């Protein structure tokens, strides 16, 4: 298939490259021409073409049903791109937002675009900087017609079965076989980003639990304790042994172990932990639904506090964020 990708940052660029490896043709656009050149060099030869802007991109999409994937920061930048493309695309064309937009914005955009017959799909995309090789877990919302049409693109980006053990009982009626391949049609427009939003809220809580636990162990040699109760614990070794058969083993623990092996004191991190929106939106959704979420709320508030002074736990959070997403301290990107 042919697809246009707007925004070739840490994830957008890798998505473009991965698609070319699966035989898809990609029209590229990024506001920095050098970035397009770099992605084209890494992609399969002859499978990409650069464009000078959104209008030029649309003109270069020759398929009967044009598809454009936005991979831009949530907010005004994405809003402006959706508005401009709404005036360039035609009936039955498909516009995908693969960033981290607020799900209520998706609902509004989908309704507006559908007045012109343009289909809008929101894709919650998880995989960070590792997605090029590992694949991306995707949760998406939109009409069945449009989501079925882009299935070859989503299947190419998804991890597939891999070596993850299959879950017993998934042969029952009503189970979507795509879920075990790493991508899932969640429902109408907005549902994909809603599910991804809650995913990130849970991520906040898991990261916070790891960070606090390692902080407790790191502080076990405190002079505030009786001398016979002080332990000098090796954080890197503890993270490593937990990776091997422990019930808390996970990718976040893998990333923690990697960071601690490189620098057990984590002195290369300040611990100023940003929140990129989804954590706040999850808490807001829980308030609207009157659902108690104390763990996610506290994890969010801890990130606020980390920007006014931090400790070893916040450095652990920074290390994990950098590990899975390449997030630089002090930014949401």
Residues written for the chain: 333
Measure CA 332 to chain center: 12
Angle between helices 312-325 and 251-262 (to 10 degrees): 110
**Burial (CB count <10 Å: 0-12, 13-18, 19+), residue 191:** buried
Give me 182's structure tokens.
Answer: 């790493």
Residue 196 annotated as catalytic: yes
- Phi-psi label, residue 136: left if phi above 0, alpha if psi -120 to 50, beta otherwise: beta
Give me 173's structure tokens.
Answer: 């009626």
Q: Is residue 42 within 8 Å of 20, Cβ to Cβ?
A: no
Question: 47, 203, 218, 329: which one is catalytic?
Answer: 203
Question: 84, 180, 196, 232: which one is catalytic?
Answer: 196
How many degrees, rounded to 5, is the angle at CA 9 between CA 75 and CA 332? 50
Distance from C-alpha of 17 to C-alpha of 25, rounded to nearest angstrom: 10
C-alpha torsion 174→178→183→184, nearest 10: -20
Give me 51's structure tokens.
Answer: 């464009």
Residue 42 annotated as catalytic: no
Active-site residues: which are they? Answer: 196, 203
């Amino acid at each position: 298939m042919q697809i246009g990708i707007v925004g070739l940052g840490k994830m957008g660029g890798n998505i473009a490259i991965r698609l070319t490896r699966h035989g898809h043709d990609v029209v590229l656009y990024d506001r920095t021409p050098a970035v397009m050149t770099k992605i084209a060099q890494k992609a399969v030869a002859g499978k990409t073409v650069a464009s000078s802007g959104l209008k030029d991109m649309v003109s270069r999409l020759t398929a009967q049903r044009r598809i454009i994937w936005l991979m831009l920061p949530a907010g005004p930048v994405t809003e402006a791109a959706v508005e401009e493309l709404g005036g360039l695309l035609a009936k039955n064309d498909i516009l995908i937002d693969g960033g981290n937009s607020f799900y209520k914005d998706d609902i509004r955009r989908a309704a507006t675009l559908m007045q012109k017959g343009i289909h809008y799909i929101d894709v919650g995309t998880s995989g960070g900087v590792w997605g090029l090789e590992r694949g991306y877990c995707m949760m998406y919302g939109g009409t069945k017609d449009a989501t079925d049409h882009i299935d070859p693109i989503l299947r190419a980006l998804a991890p597939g079965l891999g070596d993850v053990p299959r879950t017993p009982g998934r042969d029952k009626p009503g189970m979507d076989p795509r879920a075990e391949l790493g991508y899932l049609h969640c429902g109408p427009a907005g549902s994909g980003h809603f599910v991804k939003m809650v995913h990130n809220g849970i991520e906040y809580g898991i990261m916070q639990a790891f960070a606090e636990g390692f902080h407790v162990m790191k502080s076990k040699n405190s002079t505030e304790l009786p001398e016979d109760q002080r332990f000098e614990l090796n954080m890197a070794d503890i993270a490593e042994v937990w990776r091997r058969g422990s019930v808390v083993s996970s990718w976040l623990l893998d990333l923690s172990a990697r960071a601690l092996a490189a620098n057990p004191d984590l002195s290369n991190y300040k611990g100023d932990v940003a929140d990129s929106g989804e954590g706040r939106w999850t808490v807001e959704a829980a308030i609207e639904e009157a659902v108690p979420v104390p763990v996610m709320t506290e994890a969010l508030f801890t990130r606020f506090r980390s920007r006014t002074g931090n400790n070893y736990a916040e450095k652990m959070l920074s290390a994990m964020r950098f590990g899975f997403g390449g997030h630089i301290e002090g930014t949401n990107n």
